[in-house]
Structure 1
Amino acid sequence: MTTIERAPDWSDEQWQTRARSWVDEQVTRVGRRVTGPVEPRVRPWSLVWRVPTDDGPVWFKANNPGTVHEAVLIATLARLTPERVLTPIAVDPQRGWSLLPDGGESLRALLGRDPDLTHWERALPGYAALQLATAPQADELIALGVPDHRPEVLADLFADLLDDHASLRIGAEGGLRPEVYGRLRAELPSYTERCRRLADIGVPATVQHDDLHDGNVFAGPDGYRFFDWGDASVAHPFGTLLVTLRSIRFASELSADDARLARLRDAYLEAWTDRYDRPTLVEAADLAISLGTVSRSLSWRRALDTADPARAEYADAVPGWLEELLESEAA
């Protein structure tokens, strides 16, 4: 493993000078020129600069320690499946920096003009193809630092998370109530058994975006491209459906049992029908969705691995996603 720069202070003038120098160097290397000041957007988990150049904007991103694997992941995905992601202008894995070209219009903007779910029906098979192309490199991705959320280890990660009382904020406002914490503890054996069943079905682990909604997909003339991989892990591929179908459901104001959601699920699962029958795939998808709330809680815990006071605004996401595990069981 490489040594990662820890806990950067993005407001520090020296840090900004180093980062700007790196951006200028990379932009110059590809024959462009920066033409104005950067436009920043800061979150506890990352800093993003929109950098104007004489050939359109480029985007610099710096990740915090918990999401630092994004830089090396996007470089690897661009090598394995360049038609599905943006090819970075440059990455610095040691510092968790990346510089990307502009991706154009997002799927969210397209759906704002044309709220037709066939856009998702066209996009999801491409994402499935990305996952299938990446599956043989799952061990490589883990070795590069991408978090391991495979079903074989997810129950142990759940148990470890239950021991992290600071992140779960048991008894505090916005945290887990003690009685809910007790129910989650009691849920661990059942969770472990469901992880075992999901692993036994045998769908290979691969990269799993874990936050795939319409704001993280570009919809341009070159097809759909997927970005913002800071929450990603190596996991069961179908876990992606937790966030994706939920985001579609709420954006389109659909009921949970709307047939259009099942159609989108099936459009995504189609890529695996040459190896598994559809009832088995649907069973695996249901399991991965119900187990995936733990993955989301873990992703948020990593994202908030920072001393930035702004993290308090999002701190309820870690216990909140975990609590949803019980809601999915009751449904």
Structure 2
Amino acid sequence: METIAGERAPDWSSEQWQTRARGWVDEQLAAAGRRITGAVEPRVRPWSLVWRVPTDGGPVWFKANNQGTVHEAVLIATLAELTPDRVLTPIAVDPQRGWSLLPDGGESLRDVLGRDPDLAHWERALPGYAALQLATAPRADELVALGVPDHRPEVLAGLLADLLEDRESLRIGAEDGLDPETYERLRAEVPAYAERCRRLADLGIASTIQHDDLHDGNVFAGPDGYRYFDWGDASVAHPFGTLLVTVRSIRYAAELAADDAALVRLRDSYLEAWTDRYDRRTLVEAADLAMNLGAVSRSLSWRRALDTVDPARAEYAEAVPGWLAELFAAAPLQPDS
């Protein structure tokens, strides 16, 4: 198995690192017949650095991931191979360093919804994402071997048990952490959580890539259709875990009640891709289970993203315990009619 060796604590501000990265970008653009025409525009987070790079063929985007999200580079290359109409095809990737260079994707679904907040846009975007997941399912084991985190139902309960031993990340007793009572409730919940994982696995829906942060800011909505990007939080998992973040983000943006019928319609537009092999009742049960179990996946994703010595991580530290506590707050959508 190839080991992906990204940089856990890269000093992205150092002249040495920037010279090396800029040289790589120059080299890849030259191979593509393009050249840089101006200063790069940086955006730095604890888990990644992004440069907007102006070129004579339009802007491109360079991304460097830290060790916790380094799998994104190899993942986007694989997705571009499997579903080239659903993602941006990278100009270049360096899986070992977690670097990628992508063309500009145009406006996002968030931009579109800002002009026209009709949820029909989401009804059209979700089936394409489902198609990507179905196309990727046969390669799930390969993706795990390449370093994409494994959050499949068969292992998720064990990951929860391990996470509960990481008292530093959970910040037990701290103002922005888990209170001791919630922590003990979570420890007591592990057997019931494991049983729900077994039930989800027994339903037989194949695990695949799961974006785990699919909101309107991570979908391009161009003339060639919808394309899905920013895969740093992704894992190989039950596909329907996507719905936790996606439905919640739509609900808050549209100011809808948790059981609004519009959210049920969106869920069903997503599930439609599986109706040729599973009955509707099974799909709805699986969606409810995956949404409930998904809080653990989100907590694990955040812990990986914050696996860095960058002091800026403190700004986001509450996300790890915060998402884990959501395990008690997750509620299914209203039953399918």
Give distance in 2, aligned partners of 1:235 and 1:330: 19
Cα deviations across residues 61-88 of structure 1 (Å, max 9, x unaligned)?
0000000000000000000000000000
**Superposition deviation, residue 5 in structure 1:** 3.5
Cα deviations across residues 193-232 of structure 1 (Å, max 9, x unaligned)?
0000000000000000000000000000000000000000
User: 2:172 touches 2:179 (CA, 8 Å); kept in 1?
Assistant: yes
Question: What residue is the counterpart of 2:325 in the other structure?
Answer: 323
Corresponding position: 1:25 with 2:51 = no
SS in 2 for 1:275: coil
Q: In structure 1, give the amino acid aligned to 2:266.
A: L
Which runs of structure 2 are paired with 1:1-331 in the superposition (5 Å)? 1-6=2-7, 7-328=9-330
From the superposition, tell whether residues 129 and 314 of structure 1 become closer, same or farther in structure 2 (CA, over 3 Å).
same
Give distance in 2, aligned partners of 1:41 and 1:253: 29
Give distance in 1, aligned partners of 2:28 and 2:219: 25
Number of aligned residue pairs: 331
Work out the percentage of aligned pairs sharing the same amino acid.
82
Cα deviations across residues 302-329 of structure 1 (Å, max 9, x unaligned)?
0000000000000000000000101227
Q: In structure 2, give the amino acid aligned to 1:203.
A: I
Q: In structure 2, give the amino acid aligned to 1:125.
A: P
Give distance in 2, aligned partners of 1:259 and 1:197: 26
Give distance in 1, aligned partners of 2:245 and 2:214: 6
Q: In structure 1, give the amino acid aligned to 2:5.
A: I
SS in 1 for 2:61: strand
| TM-score using structure 1 length | 0.99
Give distance in 2, aligned partners of 1:323 and 1:299: 14
Give distance in 2, aligned partners of 1:196 and 1:84: 31
Give distance in 1, aligned partners of 2:108 and 2:6: 31
Cα deviations across residues 235-286 of structure 1 (Å, max 9, x unaligned)?
0000000000000000000001110000000000000001100010000000
Q: In structure 2, give the amino acid aligned to 1:92.
A: D
**Superposition deviation, residue 33 in structure 1:** 1.0
**Superposition deviation, residue 2 in structure 1:** 2.6
User: 2:47 touches 2:69 (CA, 8 Å); kept in 1?
Assistant: yes
User: 2:203 touches 2:286 (CA, 8 Å); kept in 1?
Assistant: yes
**Superposition deviation, residue 190 in structure 1:** 0.5
SS in 2 for 1:82: coil
Give distance in 2, aligned partners of 1:205 and 1:270: 17
Q: In structure 2, give the amino acid aligned to 1:152.
A: E
Give distance in 2, aligned partners of 1:97 and 1:81: 20
User: 2:140 touches 2:207 (CA, 8 Å); kept in 1?
Assistant: yes
Give distance in 2, aligned partners of 1:244 and 1:252: 12
Give distance in 1, aligned partners of 2:54 and 2:332: 50
Give distance in 2, aligned partners of 1:246 and 1:326: 15
User: 2:4 touches 2:71 (CA, 8 Å); kept in 1?
Assistant: no
Runs of 4+ residues over 4 Å off in structure 1: none
Give distance in 2, aligned partners of 1:107 and 1:329: 26
**Superposition deviation, residue 9 in structure 1:** 1.1
Give distance in 2, aligned partners of 1:83 and 1:161: 36
Give distance in 2, aligned partners of 1:219 and 1:5: 31
**Superposition deviation, residue 146 in structure 1:** 0.1
Give distance in 1, aligned partners of 2:231 and 2:157: 23
SS in 2 for 1:86: coil
Q: In structure 1, give the amino acid aligned to 2:126.
A: L
User: 2:108 touches 2:219 (CA, 8 Å); kept in 1?
Assistant: yes
Cα deviations across residues 70-118 of structure 1 (Å, max 9, x unaligned)?
0000000000000000000000000000000000000000000010100
Give distance in 1, aligned partners of 2:76 and 2:4: 18
Give distance in 1, aligned partners of 2:265 and 2:29: 43
**Superposition deviation, residue 330 in structure 1:** 11
